[in-house]
Amino acid sequence: MGDTAKKRRGRMLPKVALTVAVATVMLGLLEVVVRRLDGYQVWTARLTPVADRMSQMEEVAPDLVEGFMAQPALRRGDVDGAWMLSSPEPPQRRPLPPEMQRVFDAGLHPMFLWQWNEALLQSVWVKGAGPAVGEALQKPDGYYVFAPVEPTVFPRYRFPLSVTLPSGVTLNSIGFRGADVAVDKPAATVRIACVGASTTVDDHQVLHSYPELLGHYLRCWASAHRPGVNFEVINAGCEGYSSTDIVQNVRHYVLPLEVDYVVYYEGANQLHKTQVLQHVTIDGEVPPPPPMAGFLDPEAAATGENQWLYQRSAAARRLHTVFAGSSPAVEPSKPPQRVTLPEGIDEQRPDLARAAEILELKTILPDLDAIRSDCAAAGAQLVLCSYKWLVYDGLALDPVRGEEVFRQLNRAFWPASYASMRRLVDVQNRWFAAWAAARQVPFLDVAACMPDDQRLHTDAIHKTQLGSRCHAWSTFCLLLPRLIADLDAGAVPTPDGQPSARHPNVPPMRRKTAAEFDAEK
C-alpha cells in the first residue's frame, strides 16, 4: 500500500469510527425511547410490538366504555360509573429468592419457577432425564414441590409463595395473585374467591386482575351504601387449570379461608381442538392451514439473520409491526363444514342427562357438582359465570392488535370456522346455565355483557387491562343483587368459624433436587 493510500485510509478510519459511534448512540437513544413508549399506546396500536403487546399502562377507549356501561344489565342506580375507571393500590412487589433468580437468569422456562405437585412429578419422572414434560426444554437440577393434600396429581401445580415473578405478577403468602390476606377472615367482612385459570389470573403485566378490580368496586359500593361492611376478593386462579384442578384448589386452598362466595370463571382449557372437532363435520378433505409468515408472524421475523436483533431490540420489533400493513386480517378460506351434535340433542334446550355427549362436559359438570357440594359443606355459595370468547362469523381483526386472536383461532383450531367455534362456545355456555338453574346456583352471564371488541383482548380469551375492567364491572353489577339480598337477610357477613393464624395446607416452599427424584426410581 502506497503512502497516499495509507494517508487516505488513516483519514477515513476516524470518520468511519465517528459514523459508527454516532449511529450506535442514535440507535441506543431510539431503543430507550421506544422502550419508554412500550407502555404508552397513545399514537397508534402500530407502536406496540406484537411480542410485547401488553403493558402496565392502560388504553382507555371512551366510545367502547360508554357503550359498555349503557347496557341495561349493567345500569344500576346505586353505582357510580366513575368507579369503573378507578383503581386500587397495586400490591407491593416482593423480591425473587436467589434460587429462583438463577433459574430465571439461566433462561429456563417460567413454569420451572412454580411449585409442582410432587406426586405428579414422581409419576412422570424419567431417571436421568427429569420430568417427561416439555421434552424440548432444558431442565433445571431442582424443582419447587408441594405434597398434595389428597393422593392425586391435582392440582398439578401452584404458584410460588410471596414473590414477584419476572413476568410482573405479585403472589402472596398463599400462592394467589395479589396482596396478602389474613387466614382468619376479619370481622364484618364478606370474602369472595374467584377461581379459574389464566383468564382469572389475567395477564401478568397488567396492574390489576379482574378479581382485584372486583374487590375495589365492591368496596366503593359498600363505602357508599353499607358502611361498616368490608369486601375482600381473592384471586385464586392458576394458569392452565382444568375443572379437576379447580376442585382441589377450592377444597384445600380456598375454603379454609372461610370464603362466603366462590366465583367460577373458566371455559377454555377444556375446549380445545379435539373437543371442537368432535362436533364439526368437514365436507371433503382437510387442507393444511395457510402459512402465517411475513409481517403477521413474529416467529418468522425472528428467524435467520434477524433472530438476534428481533429478540433483543424493542425498536426492531416495532419496525416489524409498522410494516404489517393496515388491511384487516379476515378469516382464511376453510373447507365447507357443519356443526353436528349427537342425534336428538337440541342445542337451544340443553338436556343435562346427555351432557356427557357434549364437548368436555362429562368432566366439567361433575367437577362443578363437587365444588358446589364442598362449598355448601363449608357454608359458602358457588357462583357460575358464562365464559367469553372473541369469535364470530365475519370477525375482521387489526393485523397488529388482533394478531394473537387471528393466530389462535386459525392455528390452534384449524380447520374449524369462526361460525362453528361461535356455535360451540354458545352451546357450552347454555349447558353451564342449565346446570346452574337445575342446581339453584347463581349464574352470571358475563359473556353476554362483554363487547366483541378486540381492544379488550390480547387473544381470543385473554384480556387487556381495559378488558379486565369490563370483566370485573360485569361481574360486579351482575353479582350485586345477590349480595344485597344476602346482606339484607343477614346471611353475610359471617364470622370466621375456625380461627387459625396459618393456612392448614400451605407449608413453606421446599425444593427437591433431580438427584432426589432419581433416587426414588
Q: Amino acid letter at 202?
A: D
| Angle at 50 (CA atoms; ends 44, 52), nearest 5 degrees | 95
How would you write the pLDDT of the chain (521 residues) with one tens digit per residue? 555 555 555 555 556 556 655 655 565 555 555 444 443 332 333 333 333 433 434 778 899 999 999 999 999 999 999 999 999 999 999 999 998 999 888 888 888 999 999 999 999 999 999 998 877 788 899 999 999 999 999 999 999 999 999 999 999 999 999 999 999 999 999 999 999 999 999 999 899 999 999 999 999 999 999 999 999 999 999 999 999 999 999 999 999 999 999 999 999 999 999 999 999 999 988 888 877 654 445 444 444 444 445 445 555 555 555 555 567 889 999 999 999 999 999 999 999 999 999 999 999 999 999 999 999 999 999 999 999 999 999 999 988 788 889 989 999 999 999 999 999 999 999 999 999 999 999 999 999 999 999 999 999 999 999 999 999 999 999 999 999 999 999 999 999 988 888 999 999 999 999 999 999 98
Measured distance CA(141)–CA(127) in Å, rounded: 12
User: Is the whole model's pTM more than 0.95, yes or no?
Assistant: no
DSSP three-state, residue 151: coil
Nearest residue to 188 via CA among 119, 120, 260, 266:
260
Nearest residue to 189 via CA among 472, 422, 496:
496
Measured distance CA(114)–CA(509) in Å, rounded: 10
Please check whether residue 383 is in contact with residue 263, taking contact to mean a CB–CB distance below 8 angstroms. Answer: yes
Measured distance CA(298)–CA(49) in Å, rounded: 10
E strand or H helix at 229: none
